[in-house]
Structure 1
């Protein structure tokens, strides 16, 4: 028997999952791949009776529990990923190449003032890379949106179950793992803090930022029907974050009328937390300025050059969690209230 097409909706409530002849009812389910409720009823009326379908539509109930829905949808996502490893392998390969490139660019930075600027530049590069790489998460949602609308109109499963399965099988293989790859290669090549505690705190911040940016792109993809508009706004938001992150311009030098925009910038908190983590390892700047030796704490230079607070690491972690929660609730609300089939 041929392997079922993952784009054909698995019937989570009593119908055949294989899309072939059903011996119990004597009816066949079409294998056209549309998965529409009317088509299934036409070919398989006993497995999904008209009265049951109308009752489901009226009461917005589901024939299976939430866990069963999540299990079936996760199985479909896993089959799609397993049959075509191209995207996953491309993310890993690109992450490894970029990790080597970034690590070579900032290879073994010294502890002078210029070297410290290079360290922060390395951290900024990683944040900007994550902001742009999560654009592919937006494309996936735009691509699968028509299928979700058709299946939701038939009340096959809860939108929350679909969102959760989509998030899990997008974030872990395509976001978290590539982030860990590029960050791990860059970290040791650039000669950042050489101890496990600061390394894992470094990874923790980047993973949080990856989750926040993935959910942000999910939100844009769900809110706008036109994928081009969503992609444009996502790219513009990445440029906005780069502007107000504190690397290109000192945060305290921004005019007051625009300074408040920094508080809405996830990359600002990410870069600050990464910089504070690096300085917290006991980094000391040793340089010579016009023949005068300089030996000063890196936290002082960090505050003078970028305006970052030396004690803001855990505050930044909480703010990133707040962004994740806010974007996540926004995605759920938009999917429930806006992403539905309208006739």
Structure 2
């Protein structure tokens, strides 16, 4: 009976802390719309720009390479735009340390508040906007099933990159170091994603680095989803007509596996879970005021 009462008291206290913290976050969001509107505006402008750049891409070999380039552009955009998540945590960290030391609220309430008022409006919504604009302007697979699978992958990658930046911001008290490492990580992912260099052509001593690259799984899943719609390449090489499955060209040009979509989804979920647990552990154990 005492345990039940203690649990009920803790749950009520936690909900109260979360309500107070959420109310404060909502007031901040109401006072300062700039970051939200900037994300939405940038997503809309870059969506139109990227959609115009790859507008109605054809189904030649060069056109297929452009399709994958379009998907790569979206992944790179998400990786770099997630830097603002890092900056938000860096700026609010001193306030969190002071209020946590005064027992104003628990770290769990703070993390949930960060998720509700940062991840949803500033990460998920802009990703959906830019992805939707680019998808239909670029002329990718024209059916709802492949569109939502495409959107699902980009949302997973957005969550992974946001949590990664949260982790860096919580682990390093120096914001400059966190930003530098985040930018270098984005460049590393772009290198081993499979677009700039064929994955099978990477020297064996470095090839294993591709397995630590979330963008590689994202780009592969997006490409597999595109060719999975039955896309056929119709081209002409030195006067000889070519009519082959896009999955064959995908494997030859980029080294992606045709049956790896659901494997890539599971790997992205694993990255999200790992980064999420890392953020929770660091906030509880490391982000505290020390005297």
Give TM class, smaller chain: over 0.9
**Contact 1:62–1:158 under 8 Å retained in 2:** no
Write out aligned runs for 1:228-307 (5 A): 228-307=176-255
Give, in whole Å, the separation in 2 of the partners of 1:208 and 1:66: 28
1:263-310 residue CA offsets vs partner (Å, 9 max, x unmatched): 010000000000000000000000000000000000000000000011
Q: Which has the higher helix share?
A: 2
Q: Determine helix, strand or coil for the equivalent of 2:153.
A: helix
Residue 274 of structure 2 corresponds to which residue in structure 1?
326
> Within 1, Cα distance between the matches of 2:141 and 2:285?
47
Contact (CA 8 Å) 1:124, 1:247: kept in 2 or not? yes
Aligned-pair RMSD on alpha carbons? 1.2
**2-structure distance, mates of 1:178, 1:246:** 25
The unaligned stretches of length 5 or more in structure 1 are: 1-60
Structure 2 gap ranges (5+): 1-8
Structure label with greater radius of gyration: 1
Alignment of 1:141-160 (within 5 A): 141-160=89-108
Counterpart CA distance in 1 for 2:42 and 2:123 is 12
List structure 1 segments (4+ residues) > 3 angstroms apart after TM superposition. Answer: 61-64
Partner of 1:74: 22
In structure 2, distance between residues paired with 1:68 and 1:279 = 50
Judge conservation of contact 1:62–1:156 (CA < 8 Å) in 2: no
1:117 is aligned to 2:65: yes
The residue number in structure 1 matching 2:150 is 202
Partner Cα separation in structure 2 for residue 279 and residue 66 of structure 1:
48
Which deviates further from its counterpart, 167-176 or 63-72? Answer: 63-72
The one of 122, 125, 129 equivalent to 1:181 is: 129
How does the TM-score come out when normalised to structure 1? 0.81
- In structure 2, how many angstroms separate the alpha carbons of the residues matched to 1:62 and 1:154? 17
Instruction: State the aligned residue count.
Output: 283
Q: How high is the TM-score relative to the length of structure 2? A: 0.96
